[in-house]
Structures are given as structure tokens and as C-alpha cells.
Structure 1
Amino acid sequence: MGDLPAYLVGAAALESRVFPAFTFDPSAGRDWASRFSLDTNPQATRDWPVHGLAYADEHHQAVSQELPFTLIDFVACDARYTRHFALVPRARWSATLVPAGDIVARESQGQPESVPFVWTVDPENRLHKLVVDEKLIREARRCRSMWNSLQELGGIHNSHAERLLARERQSGVLAPMTASSAPPVTPDTVPAAPTVETQSDTQRSPDEAYIETERCSTCNECTHINGKMFAYNANQQAYIADLSAGTYAQLVEAAESCQVSIIHPGKPRNPDEAGLDELLKRAELFA
């Protein structure tokens, strides 16, 4: 992977489903749903994580689009796979070039004139298009298929459950909510928008642990330490989901591991936790 930091390579492997993460804890419960989890994977309900790409075109107009991060994007960062890509000169860009993620998503081969490509960025921050050979398209589909199998084990898009739901809908046991069957909403019954408390609404206690979520770089360090204590929001930025799901030692370890130093452990909730004197000294750096 050249000069890329190891943590970035690891995060890219996780995002591309090349190296997905799962948790299996036999002591967590009697059923599979309690024991097996894919929660530490980004956007686990999708085939691939989707991110926004914003850039200025040759006419200096702002352009933005949503792109999946697939196995192909991951291996494009590895010089060992350069033989599977070819650079397309800008003068030859055309409508026949189709994002590789779209080609992978098709069940059939699609139109023969469609040529899959991925975006890359050079050291001068200029965008380029690399066409992808058929072998990588097949590998990406195989990778997606393996990920889909893991999803089923994790209770995501479970084919047995979806088939049962479809049968129950057909038999009338479950009637899908439609516009005609939903009760009318009048102005008197429209609920008020929930009030969201922010830092300006309430003063945070100096002893309270917190994360500067808006600065999160999605390095996955904290969620790897404890995927129940730490979680990602819709923008794939970390926050403290449940302090009671972990220890103060894990809070301090996460603060020390964070690439951008945005985790503040505060004070321990459990005064009887072992090794607090040392942990408090380590936490002082992140007050």
C-alpha cells in the first residue's frame, strides 16, 4: 500500500468488505442474535459503504455525487494490482465510462459498451479515471456475496425472514402501510419536532466523558476497542453510545489510540475499578 499509514489501510480494508469485522460472544446469550454482531462495520446494512465525493470540474463548477467504496477502490491503492487498471486520458472520457460500483451492482453483465472505472486522485489533487478489468469486477461480486452471507448471519436482510414476511403479507396477516390505509393526519395530530439538546443548551459537567464528534476522522480505533460503548452516527463520526457498556480503562485506551485526540475520558463512573490512580494520570492529557 505504499506510504499509506497502517491504520488507514486497515480502515479501507474494513470499509471495502475485504476484511469485515464481526463479534462472536458465546456468553452473550442463548440465541445467535445475541452472540453474533456486525455492528462494528461501517454502514453494515449496505452492500458497500457510500460516501460523498465533491470536486470542481474543468469549468470550475461544483460537482457532488455519492459513490460506494468497493473492493475495487481498495485494491486501486495497491501497486501490486496496477495490471488490472488502465488510465483513461481526459480527452477520451465519455458516457460509456460507468462507475465500477454500478457495474458490480448489476446482476447481468449490462450493456457491452459500458466500461467500468474508478476515481483516483494524484498528488496535485487532480481526479483521474482508471478503467477496471473483468477479473476485478468478478472478485468484487464474490466479495459482496461473502459479505451478504455474513449479513444474513448478523440478521441483516435475512432471506428466511424476508420470505416469511412476504408470505404473511400475501396471506393478509401483515398488511403493508399505504397512503390509503394510513390514518389521515390533521394539524391537531401532527407531533411537535423533538427538541435536541446541544452543548449550548446544557453545560457539560467537567467530569463527564465525551467525544468531539464533529472532528472525528472515522479511524475506527475506539469502536475496535469497544463497539458497544462507542458507535458511529449517520455521518460515520464517533460518539459515546453507552458509558455503562465498558470500563474507564477502555475510555482511556480509546483516548490514547484516537488519531485526532478528540476523546475526553472525564472521571471514572465506578470508583472501585482497578488501577484508577494510574488511569487518572493517563487521562489528564485528554482533559
Structure 2
Amino acid sequence: MTSSDSSTSAGPRLLGPADVRSLAATLGVRPTKQRGQNFVIDPNTVRRIVRAAALDEAGETVLEVGPGLGSLTLALLAGGHRVTAVEIDPLLASALPSTIASYAPGQADRLTVVEADAMDVGPAEIGAPSACVANLPYNVAVPVLLHLLEVSGSLRHGLVMVQSEVADRLAAGPGSRTYGVPSAKAAWYAEVRRAGPIGRNVFWPAPNVDSGLVAFERREPPSTSASREEVFAVIEAAFSQRRKTIRSALARWLPDRDRLDEVFRRTGVDARLRGEMLGITEFAALAGAARTV
């Protein structure tokens, strides 16, 4: 085997602190808070993320949002997966293929880069990925995750890094003080759980907040005659006044008192409870009953 052959067949080299800073300097990139850019500089962290994602060893098509300079991208390629990377920054999007060609020449053909806002993509742009593994921009993490779950029915599971408090909210269950709109909406699509903390020192620049991993596994939504939009409207109304009983909180959603009482009677949901005590099944039942009263 020639040295050239060895280079081509070798696994990806992952980015360390010096690599990240060198790439950024070459590109003239200065991380911005506006786009939530904090680049991972620790190879062990991206290896850990890929392991925790529990991807199929045979290889999956993985959707990555916000690949940045390519730290996590390289680790995903090293695992034998195809990567569709959605990057909003034109400079980073255009530079990523050449970075992969340099650090993982044997895997470059398994990367697809989509220059777009993740909130605007659908199957036409991202195809049919089976998993999502990403360091999501913290300022838009929840809407991006919910959007991807809505538009990509092929997403079966995933692991995303988000701000620690957001991770708590996404994974919270009914009765928890952190349970709220993000928790209930995420539960419509998937079972969500915390999958571990991430330290600040693995990023450049180091963020002012702690980070956490959130794992999700797709499941069928609760059986209901209501649409997703109708169920989500109930969820938003329930938490708009979270200190009130669910009946009081839903008074604006369904102003007719008699109809609202009938909704509770038909569903068996205790109107004296607060919204934070209800799960996605109850929210779906309330929305469904409201269509027929």
C-alpha cells in the first residue's frame, strides 16, 4: 500500500483546539453570539456524543444542524455514517467540504452540505435522514428541533446538545417545575430524555451557560381527532397562565363555559388540575373533544 493509499483509507482526524483556531483564522471566522456559535474543540466530546447517539453500526444518514467548522461532522463520518449538514453561515457552509477532504479524505463523498436556515428546510433540502445529531444553536434550539421533527417523518431518533436549562425543559415530565410548552410539544413527537452534561471548557469560545445532551426516540402521537396545530393551541393556552387551574387557563381557548365543561366531562380530565400536571395524551384528548362539543 502506498502512502497515498494509506492517507485515503485512514479514518478521519478529529479537530483539536489548535485545529479549530487555525481553521477559524484561515477563514477569518469570529464566532458570533447572534448565531449561537460555540465550536467544540475537544475530540473526546464529539466521540462521546456519537456513542451516546446509539446510531446503527451499519451506518445511518445523519442530519447535523450547525456543523460549524466540522468537529462533530468528522466524528460522525468516522462512525461510518452519511452526514447531511445544514449550515446557515455561507462562509462555513462553503468551507466545510474542503475541511472534510483534508481531515477525512476517504469519507468526503459521504457528506452533503445544505446552506440554509434550519427553520426553512424540508425533505426537498435534507432528504430522508434517519437520525439527527447536532450541537444546536442555543438561541433557536427548541423551534429548530420541533420543526425538524414536524417536517422530517424519517427521523427515528437523535441526540442534540442544547443549553442545560433547555435540556431540562425538553425532557421534563408532567408535575416537574421545568415542565412546560417545549416539554409537551416535544412529547407529541417523541420520548425525550436527558443524556448527560457537557462542560463549558470543551468549547471555543467558552459559553456563559452549561450545556446538556438530549436524546429522543420517535413515537406515534396520541390518538386524537384533533390536528397537531389544535393540540398545540391547547398546550399554549394551558401554560399561558400556569398558576391557574386548567379550566381557567383554557377559558380563552374555549370561551363558551358550557362547551368547556362538556369537554372536561367527556375526557375525564380533572378541571381543577393545573396544566403542568397534564401529559400529551390529556392535551390531545381535550383538543379532540373540543371538535365535537
Question: Which TM-score band (shorter chain)?
Answer: under 0.3
**Rg larger in 1 or in 2?**
1
Q: TM-score, normalised by structure 2?
A: 0.23
More helix by percentage: 2
Higher relative contact order (CA 8 A, sep 6+): 2
